[in-house]
Amino acid sequence: MKLVGIIGSIADESYNRKLMLYIASHFKETIDIEILDIRDVPMFRVGMEMGPAVEYLNKKISAADGVIIATPEHNHTTTAALKSVIEWLSSSVHPFADKPVLLVGASYFEQGSGRAQLDLRQILESPGVNALVMPKDEFLLGNVKSAFDENGNLKEARTVGFLESVMGNFLKWIKVLKAMKKNNDVKGDWESEDLTASQEIDTTVKGVDMKAEDWVEQAAAKTNAVEGDTYVKLDRGLLTVNQLNWFLNTMPVELTFADDNNQFIYYNRMDENPKDMLAPRQPKQVGDPLESVHPERALKGVKHVVHTLRTGETDLVSMPVPFINKVNEKHVMHYYKAMHDEDGRYRGINEWVVDIWPVVESYLKMTGQKLVADENAKVDATSGASEKKEEPVATPETDATSGASESETKVEEVKVAEPEVDATSGASES
């Protein structure tokens, strides 16, 4: 879970800053909380251009799953500085719109900034801001001068326990809102899928032209990416970068990674010659947005596949792509699997391409069986989907998500059944 914390004070010595630092440190094992400072943000004035400090806040808040705001109380209200920041972020940009927000605050006296939080809640829920402030369990820290020990930790176990309870409820609030948003997505609106990779995400490498033929080399230099014999700790393994490349490049399937910004960022280069691959790809394509690596006639199909996975309509799409080879018989299958992080957030597509004919052939030889046409069967010659209503999701001579170049492979128009059929994903109906 990625959160940002905003300190509503611009004072050099601030107990609300101390509170936010404690929250970030106390929950660091389970929540990634990045603290944002507002001291460089100028006072809002109509007609004034949005500067880099405001642009930075806009990007960070937009990319976060939720926001924690720590507000002092000045004359029964929040601070003028924080009010000004929110005005900046509700004029030409609106990062708080539909964003889960938790209010916390500290004050010298027992009320713990309660009136300031009420004032801030009204501001955040006003038209133009439209934040989704958690409706209960504000954290109010009173008598703040004696609340922390010399190491910056809260002294009282009951206070810590209540803070943990509030944070737990906030995480649930974020997940509930995320689930509601997912359910409200218009699943048929696949044409809105953006294949230009124009929206920066947390893993986007900035400052490198996506269409550069040496994008990998430039992006690696920009990010100080490790290579060679440097070890990489994986979920359940420890490999050097070289070992990881050897492992992936010898997989019995062709793999492709397209991220949640629809940028084509990886394929396992099993063959130096793209023409020898089942789904030809070229090194110079890596880094390109998906729109750039598909012929125009394929883009509608690509959008449909990606949107189906992004919205959770299904988590796996499969399609056969007939492959004509004068030497060996092949039956090539393309699989597109939605990837999600530990919080359930969609993170892109894992595509694998495999020739399943050797498996079928081996099975037939082992069992002494042979393939015989069923005269009574109604065959869907391209997808194998049921007879329920279908919509096209890919067009000829394209690998729908990997950005494969046009190959000598001859492909008929491929169709995928409506999600409730599950004829392409193989998932259960539950």
Question: Residue 95's domain is classified under what CATH number?
Answer: 3.40.50.360
Same domain, 139 and 241: no
Same domain, 29 and 171: yes
Q: What is the pLDDT of residue 135?
A: 83
Same domain, 159 and 244: no
Distances (CA, A) of 212 to 141, 176, 295, 365: 52, 40, 18, 48
Residue 389: pLDDT band with limits 50, 70, 90: very low
| Integer Cα distance of 284 and 213 in angstroms | 4
Please give the helix or strand (H or E) that residue 160 lies within, else none: helix 157-184
Q: Name which residue leads in pLDDT, 270 or 29.
A: 29
| Integer Cα distance of 20 and 22 in angstroms | 5
Domain of residue 363, CATH code:
3.30.450.20
Same domain, 236 and 176: no
201-206 long-range contacts, CB within 8 A, separation 24+ = 201/63, 201/259, 201/260, 201/261, 202/2, 202/63, 203/259, 204/261, 204/263
Same domain, 167 and 306: no
| Integer Cα distance of 51 and 37 in angstroms | 15
Work out how many domains the chain is built from and give that number: 2
Asked if the structure places residue 159 within a domain, the reply is yes
Q: What is the pLDDT of residue 101?
A: 94
Asked if the structure places residue 145 within a domain, the reply is yes
Q: Which of 155, 184, 213 is the last residue of a domain?
A: 184
* pLDDT tens-digit series, residues 303-329: 999 999 998 889 999 988 766 555 567
Same domain, 336 and 270: yes
Same domain, 159 and 44: yes
Asked if the structure places residue 425 within a domain, the reply is no
Same domain, 266 and 391: yes
Does residue 381 have a pLDDT over 80? no
> Which DSSP letter does residue 315 get?
S
Asked if the structure places residue 424 within a domain, the reply is no
Does residue 399 have a pLDDT over 80? no
Phi, psi of 11 (to 5 degrees): -70, 145
Asked if the structure places residue 205 within a domain, the reply is no
Asked if the structure places residue 201 within a domain, the reply is no
Handedness of CA 382, 305, 260, 407 (dihedral sign): positive
Residue 330: pLDDT band with limits 50, 70, 90: confident
> Which DSSP letter does residue 137 get?
-
Q: Which of 184, 209, 234 is the last residue of a domain?
A: 184
- Torsion, Cα 33 344 299 413, to 10 degrees, reads 170
Q: Which of 184, 207, 242 is the last residue of a domain?
A: 184
Does residue 2 have a pLDDT over 60? yes
Residue 197: pLDDT band with limits 50, 70, 90: very high
Q: What is the pLDDT of residue 378?
A: 67
Q: What is the mean pLDDT of residues 224-232?
A: 95
Provide the domain limits for residue 6.
2-184
pTM over 0.85? The answer is no
Calculate the average pLDDT of the chain.
82
Same domain, 271 and 330: yes
Asked if the structure places residue 281 within a domain, the reply is yes
Same domain, 108 and 234: no
The strand pair at 66-70 and 2-7 is best described as: parallel
CB 239 within 8 A of CB 228: no
* pLDDT tens-digit series, residues 73-108: 888 889 999 999 999 999 889 999 999 999 998 877
Please give the helix or strand (H or E) that residue 84 lies within, else none: helix 80-88
Residue 177: pLDDT band with limits 50, 70, 90: confident
Buried b (16+ CB within 10 A) or exposed e, 91-115: eebbbbeebbbbbbbbbeeeebbbb
Asked if the structure places residue 292 within a domain, the reply is yes
Same domain, 230 and 359: yes
Same domain, 253 and 168: no
